[in-house]
Amino acid sequence: MIVLVANLGSTSFKFKLYETSSEGAAVLASGHADRIGQGGSAWKVVGPTGERGGAADFTDHQAAIAGALEALPRTGFGKASRIEAVGFKAVHGGPIRGAVRVDESVIATMEEFADVAPAHNPPYIAAMRALAELLPDVPQVAAFETAFHQTIPLARQVYGTPYEWVEKGIRRYGFHGASHSYIAERIAEVQPDAQRVISLHLGGSCSVCAIQDGKSVAHSMGTTPQTGLFHANRVGDFDIFALLKLREQGLGTDDVFRQLGSNGGLLGLSGVSADMRDIRAAAEGGNDRARLALDAFTECCRHYLGAYSVVLGGVDAVVFTAGIGQHDCRLRADVCRGLEFLGVQLDERRNADANGQEAAALHADGGDASVWVIPTDEEQVVARQTVAVLAGAVTTTT
């Protein structure tokens, strides 16, 4: 089966086309676009015999998807009509957990929870509708990111709210499940004795996961993917009672939430960009706010790394993944600095040489804990789930 897997971040679109079989999944084509809605998008589609790419001004995710499908025939893949299934790395389905075939009821549930996942559910819903028009006879599967985190103990899911709120579903769900699940699989291959793993997914959207014996036992995100680490343009952890002070200063509730959801995080602190590359360049040029954004982001990562080393009773492996985690060696060095008491010690040369490598070890010889860069492959996880759903091998839970 040829499966297109769509992975939509708040400002990015990635896809891979897999041919699945009993032996596994082979990538036939792939592509990406970044800075969607920000101007100056860089895009590329790579197929069996060539590639196409360049710069464009994709105003939204739907435009980026249409451009990718149009480019496929010119890369040797052939017509988009070869695609037999579409899988989505969906984010928030509320009571829907796991993977499920997309229909109007699934989309309606995603719309219901769009207010708590405003950077993710709307573009996914738009993509589902767009691909239904472009590929009308192709079944779609939504694999929700919350599934991997169902093993988190209830004591780490609840907030200190009235218990009735817990019964209404106000709790920590956890997200980026496909990414952290893939890291759990890969670290088991490269370091089979690593039972206590801390996975840092650092990209346009960011989270940290504590993994014990291959299972999620804690995650930095909460009821929504807005929380935990701050993100490219989203606030992360925030004291809700600060809203009272902001309202006293004349800000309306809707405006506050809009700012927190789209003008916070790296963008809000730096005043430069939501992109780490731009922020680092500005900081090196003497921009104090850009430097503050870098330092604050580093402290967020270190906070969760320390907390989860307590949850796990120590750490056997620290893994950096996603765009920032895989390509920013200076951030990795800053996050790991001074953590020798946890057994974490980077080798500077290995760290500097690791950007873009596959499963690169960064730790110095003789340390008690390993440090890795492992490129995530959320799409492969979703491709497997998509085939399983369409074969009737997956049961959705609510």
Structural domain boundaries of the chain? 2-144, 191-373
Q: How many CB atoms lie within 10 A of CB 84?
A: 18
Mean per-residue pLDDT, 204-230: 94
Helices (H), the chain: 61-71, 104-112, 121-134, 163-167, 177-190, 242-248, 253-262, 265-270, 276-284, 288-312, 322-327, 329-336, 348-353, 378-390
- Ranking 170-179, 376-385, 387-396 by mean pLDDT, the lowest is 387-396
3-state SS, residue 51: strand
Separation between Cα atoms, residue 25 and residue 244, nearest integer Å: 52
Same topology between domain 2-144 and domain 191-373: yes
pLDDT at 122: 87
Q: How confident is the model at residue 3 (pLDDT cuts 50, 70, 90)?
A: very high
DSSP structure class, residue 397: B
**Has residue 86 got a pLDDT over 60?**
yes
- Judge whether 35 and 232 are in contact, CB under 8 Å: no
More reliable by pLDDT, 357 or 378: 378
Q: Which two tokens stand for residue 395?
A: 């049961």
Distances (CA, A) of 389 to 100, 129, 139, 242: 7, 20, 11, 44
Mean per-residue pLDDT, 55-67: 87
**Has residue 353 got a pLDDT over 80?**
yes
pLDDT at 192: 96
**Has residue 257 got a pLDDT over 70?**
yes
Q: How many CB atoms lie within 10 A of CB 253?
A: 10
Separation between Cα atoms, residue 244 and residue 50, nearest integer Å: 56
Separation between Cα atoms, residue 116 and residue 112, nearest integer Å: 9
**Has residue 393 got a pLDDT over 70?**
no
**Has residue 186 got a pLDDT over 50?**
yes
Q: Report the half-sphere exposure of 348 (CA within 13 A, side-chain side).
A: 1
Q: pTM to 2 decimals?
A: 0.85
**Has residue 357 got a pLDDT over 80?**
no
Q: What is the mean pLDDT of the chain?
A: 90
- Judge whether 11 and 397 are in contact, CB under 8 Å: no
Domain 2-144 in CATH 3.10.580.10? no
Task: Name the architecture of domain 191-373.
Answer: 2-Layer Sandwich (3.30)
More reliable by pLDDT, 298 or 82: 298
Residues in CB range of 332: below 8 A, 6 or more apart: 320, 325, 346, 351, 354, 362, 371, 373
The dihedral through the CA atoms of 350, 355, 358, 362 has a sign that is positive
Greatest Cα pair distance, the chain, in angstroms, is 61
Separation between Cα atoms, residue 356 and residue 375, nearest integer Å: 8
Mean per-residue pLDDT, 113-129: 85
pLDDT at 187: 96
Mean per-residue pLDDT, 285-290: 97
Q: How many CB atoms lie within 10 A of CB 155?
A: 6
pLDDT at 356: 65
| Nearest CA among 228, 146, 211, 145 for reference residue 372 | 211
pLDDT at 386: 93
